[in-house]
Amino acid sequence: MKIVISEFMDGAAVARLQQSFDVLYDPALVDRPDALGPALASADALIVRNRTKVDNSLLATGAKLKVVGRLGVGLDNIDMPACAERSIKVIPAIGANSQAVAEYVIAASMLLLRGGFMSSADVACGGWPRGRLSEGRETAGRVLGLVGFGGIGQLTAKLARSLGMTVTAHDPALPDSAEIWGQVGVQPSSLDMLVMGADVISLHVPLLASTRHLFNGALIARMKPGAILINTARGGIVDESALAAALREGRLSGAALDVFDVEPVPAANPFGGVPNLILTPHIAGVTAESNVRVSQLIADQVSAYLLK
């Protein structure tokens, strides 16, 4: 049986797959659709990250496909109904990168609340912005609002509470009576109350029709003055132009985006010259450790599915 891997995967996990399967591992395939389609013609399994678009046209080239392994948790790049119609199993790496994402959120929160960690260029050039940077805020005592309270949100809440933060969360899928609220020590909240009361808001929801541009200009305007917005979930949940305007006008004191409407970000974008903004290339869930965990989990589960 043949497995095609179109994006980067931990080498040890690839080697394990090669012991039992014919493996085509080419992380550049994602950028070569003319080669990816023919490669799938004889494939039983496809393993991807978030950039490979597993849509009808790609699936049509893989008549033998039985399973798609996703090196991550988001599934918006995979046409789930089309896979179901073809009886193709989709396996995400649930939980394997949660620690990496949660740590990213906490690190970005602390950096942006304190506000002094982006002064290296000034100090190296002889500047001494001590007065301007002496009004940074401590993390303890701040309110973290989580939009979405699944596994990553819950782990983020635990880390935040260990630092002395109060945590609220909004998740329509979880009733207020759910035991997890009390187990983690988090207060359920309406979206409006969360937005108006949180010092830091972190997004942990999938990209759906109902969440596209959920944080639009109107909702961003209702955020607490000086608040911080962090998006490690999916591009498209935040209206990027509205966020850039809020930062330029000083209504928000900072933001961190790891995901974007279009990836890679095009040269024509709203972020040029925007203050107090951290931009990273969709790596919140990718660390040396999480790459090993994610890759091993998908290798094991794809193997088990093919060999059952």
Catalytic residue among 49, 170, 234, 293: 234
Q: Does the annotation count 282 as an active-site position?
A: yes
268 CB-side CA count, 13 A: 0
Task: Please give the Cα distance from 217 to 51 (Å, whole number).
Answer: 28
Q: Does the annotation count 132 as an active-site position?
A: no
Task: Please give the Cα distance from 81 to 73 (Å, whole number).
Answer: 17
Closest by Cα among 247, 248, 251 to 222: 251
Query: Which residues lie below 8 Å from residue 199, measured CB to CB, with a gap of 6+?
Result: 113, 137, 142, 143, 144, 224, 226, 227, 228
Task: Please give the Cα distance from 206 to 234 (Å, whole number).
Answer: 6
Closest by Cα among 122, 117, 147, 136 to 253: 136
Catalytic residue among 70, 142, 282, 293: 282
Q: Count Cβ atoms below 10 Å from residue 80 Cβ, excluding itself.
A: 13
With left for phi above 0 and alpha for psi between -120 and 50, is residue 57 left, alpha or beta?
alpha
Q: Does the annotation count 234 as an active-site position?
A: yes
| Amino acid letter for position 294 | V
Task: Please give the Cα distance from 157 to 266 (Å, whole number).
Answer: 33
Give the residue numbers annotated as catalytic, written as ranges: 234, 263, 282
